[in-house]
Amino acid sequence: MLKIGITGNIGSGKTTISQVFELLGIPVFYADNEAKKVMTADAILIAALRETFGPEAYLADGTLNRKYIAGIVFNNEAELKKLNALVHPAVFRAFDNWVLQHAHAPYVLKEAAILFESGSHKDCNYTILVTAPDAMRIDRVMQRDHITQQEAESRNAKQMPQEQKAALANFIIANDNTQLVIPQILALHQQFLAEASTR
């Protein structure tokens, strides 16, 4: 089975494009959603978070104390790195288990905002980057999240630059309103199906 990573900076439309692949019958693993789940489901991770950030990391009912964790890692790069170093392996474990459950599929997609930054692209056969001009992405995020331009630009600035990701990606889907997105998706879908059938 082929494992395809798909990523894109905020406002690129990577989630919408992943949903189109789902309509084509391709299972999609949403890493960002899964990261939230593993924090209350993965026993190894829970123990590590308690040890690293203290027993206050979890509330009495066993749910993650998001406010407490956010207070520690927000604007603190070193603490955020610690958190990510614990969460990423748990998400990798969840992905490996999920892949086994979808062994019937010709290929699967792993949608992740930090596909390259977390190193999870190394576990994929190919990677797709969804791109759009910065101004267009900022505008989309402002409308979607009802935030100011400054807030949107601040979020964007925290991500690896799109050009850097483009140099690492195997394929690019341009979601910039100058070319149709569906034909680009279908072309990749056919290519992946053809390769999966030879494995």
In the block, which residue shows the tokens 């990523």? 7
pLDDT digits (tens), the chain, 199 positions? 999 999 999 999 999 999 999 999 999 999 989 998 999 999 999 999 999 999 999 999 989 999 999 999 887 889 988 999 999 999 999 999 999 999 999 999 999 999 998 888 999 999 999 999 999 999 999 999 999 999 999 888 888 999 999 999 999 999 999 999 999 999 999 999 999 999 8
- Determine the pLDDT at residue 142: 95
Supply φ then ψ for residue 165, to 5 degrees. Answer: -65, -40
- Determine the pLDDT at residue 17: 97
Please report, for the chain, the start and end positions of each structural domain, with discontinuous segments joined by +. 1-27+107-199, 33-101
Structure tokens at 118: 């977390």
- Determine the pLDDT at residue 138: 95
In CATH, the number for domain 1-27+107-199 is: 3.40.50.300
- Determine the pLDDT at residue 75: 79
- Helix/strand/coil for 133: coil
- Determine the pLDDT at residue 45: 95
Task: Report the C-alpha gap between 183 and 187 in whole angstroms.
Answer: 6
- Helix/strand/coil for 199: coil
Length of the chain: 199
User: Exposed, middle or buried: residue 3 (CB in 10 Å: 0-12, 13-18, 19+)?
Assistant: middle
